[in-house]
Structure 1
Amino acid sequence: MNEKHITLCNKLLYYLVAPGLLLYFISIDSGIITSSFSVLAIFGLAILLGVGIPMIYKKKNPEYKFNISSKYANAMAILVILELTYNMSK
């Protein structure tokens, strides 16, 4: 794998899988959908692959760096905290 593929893998993890998982949990809390083990297993596999592949690449190429927007990271952190707060207050 080259750097282009690893960057794509990171982008998919940060900009597709993470918001998708957050939306999934919000939908469950809203009562729109019910929890499903198979969907959680798919998200879990995507996260494991999305984290594992870049970690292996980074071990071989220590100079590789992937940056995300700090505004995006802060927005996701706030949304996750709100979701956790809602779940703890139930």
Structure 2
Amino acid sequence: MIIAAAIKFYIEKTDQEVILCGLRHDSVFKQLKALGFEPKKGYKELEQGFLTSDGKFLNREQAYYHALGCKQIKSDDEPAWLFSEMLW
């Protein structure tokens, strides 16, 4: 089950990848600001996606099919990419 929007980042100072999550993807960028990051400085956005109930990061396409399988969304003719607005 999809439980949160998430973004995978590379943090330059620590040379580490981290995943931050929130209700929507824009709330993740608000978290970065609260952590003291300026826009597009000190980190690189690697990929937007979602977090599952078992803690797995899925990209937007993987998350779309996962949400279909969990019956969180219905199939439509749109591109197979998940957006948080489709869930909540």
TM-score (normalised: structure 2): 0.31
More strand by share: 2
Instruction: State which structure, 1 or 2, has the greater radius of gyration over its C-alpha atoms.
Output: 1
More helix by share: 1
TM-score (normalised: structure 1): 0.31
